[in-house]
Amino acid sequence: MHLSLSQSATSDTLLIPVIQNDHLVNTLSNLAPTVGLPASTLEADFKADAKEVLPIYQPNGRKTYLIGLGKTPGINEWFRTFRKFFYDQKNRLPQHVGVDLRLHGPDAIEGVVLGAYGGGYDLKLYQTDKPESPIFYSENGQLSLLVDDPTTQADALRRAEAIALTQRQIMDLMNAPSNYKTPQTLADWAVASGRQHGYSVRVLNKAQIEQEGLQALLAVNRGSDHEPVFIIAEYKPEHAPNAKKVGLVGKGITFDTGGISIKPSANMHMMKSDMGGAAAVLGTLEVAAKLKLPVHLIGIVPSTENMVDGSATKPGDVIGSYLGKTIEVIDTDAEGRIILADGLGYMVRNYGPDVLIDLATLTGSVIATLGYHAAGLFTNNDELAEALSRAATQTGERVWRLPLWDVYAEDIRSDVADLKNFSGKPMAGAISAGKFLEVFTENHPAWVHLDIAGTAFGDTEFGSQKNGTGFGIRLLIDWLRTL
């Protein structure tokens, strides 16, 4: 599919988004001559509710769709509305489709482009009898965005396409089953992306991980036949020597059985997506490099499976870590924070970032607190919390701040080691996990932990069960652009 900006409509099918505001009657009156219908008919049949669609066929064969956006839509509403439209209509659309955005700003461009690519996403990655792709999503498909001034909107289009293409790859990674996605698969993806987009990637194998003393990662890996990897990706802008240095650390568990503290079978199949934090980090590095953002980015992904065999770490074991701190393993299903301990420690000691952010599908507790609509945000830095919250509001990838008060540190005190990985209490689990991670940041003054367990995979038009969303990439890119 090719994207373009235009000042005139040349496609056979035109999409006209309409906002449900106080000017709706006037908007429909102005549209009446364009679509060849009386204004009274439009007013009766179209209310511009969110995701409402009114198809209009004209005698010359031209087709126009009025698409409702509801009241005060943000980028996420544009994105979800157009994703549903393109998914529902993809087999009916011609090769060339136009969208009239002359009454809307750059946010609309990003939402429409993300929606168009999202609507064509194919979740059936391994189906053998897949039908031929719709003509609109073929190599010759074309999406034209009608704007008043293509020159001023070119950056918005470039940014939207960069995010959309990377996000689609990230969703493929998240939705791949674990027999097609091992830790080495993530490493190979990162290396290929770095070569293509001009950033460096170094992958530590098991021997190098042992040499570096990343003992926490090795402890989680003990039950798996697949060796762990430790991915270090770095993007340096060419013409910004004083750029802020941002460190991103992502949890890369490619499958999580829970280990000896094994999970119930009912939803274990979704644990193929337990590398959502790693996906967000890798995707953000690629998009930042494609857009040549003036920020110095380092991404670290500790990756392994969490499996069960005779060598697996047991509840009650005491393990080491990169920083030398000892960890009593109370629950082997709290493995994400264990591997992040090594990722955070390695980042702080070796790169000294100005800002440190980790992302992980970490706890069921955050889902019990916030549901599937927001990620938990943990930090003691008010300025960072506000900046990321603004980016969350802008992109629709919502976050909600939860406390990191020192009183919660009592939950991770161990009798036999420096700390334990699980409180054992049926409350405040996301917070105690955050307090655990805080220990391995060495009191970094600008650290943020994002628990994305409820947002990294969700319900969509193209799946009957939860699937990967790519959450975090748009949020982080929007925030990075403000630095």
333 marked ligand binding residue: yes
Is 274 labelled a binding residue?
Answer: yes
Helical segments of 352-442, H only: 364-370, 382-395, 429-439
User: DSSP letters of 50-110?
Assistant: TT-EEEEE-TTS-EEEEEE--SS--HHHHHHHHHHHHHHHTTT--SEEEEE-TTS-HHHHH
Q: Is the dihedral of CA 88, 277, 235, 193 positive or negative?
A: negative
Give me the DSSP letters along 441-475. TTS-TTEEEEE-TTTSEE--TT-SS-EE--TTHHH
90 burial via Cβ count (<10 Å: 0-12, 13-18, 19+) = middle
Q: Please say if 245 is a catalytic residue.
A: no
- Which entry of 80, 84, 222, 337 is annotated as an active-site residue? 337
**Backbone torsions φ then ψ of 92, nearest 5 degrees:** -105, -10
47, 263, 292, 398: the active-site residue: 263
Residues whose CB falls within 8 Å of the CB of residue 127, separated by 6 or more in sequence, listed in order: none
451 marked as binding residue: no
Residue 298 parent element (H or E):
strand 296-306
The C-alpha atoms of residue 26 and residue 300 are separated, in whole angstroms, by 53
325 catalytic residue (yes or no): no
Which two tokens mark 255?
């499958």
Rounded-to-integer distance, Cα 218 and Cα 407, Å: 30
Annotated binding residues for Mn(2+), written as ranges, equal 251, 256, 274, 333, 335
Q: Which parts are annotated binding residues?
A: 251, 256, 274, 333, 335
Catalytic residues: 263, 337
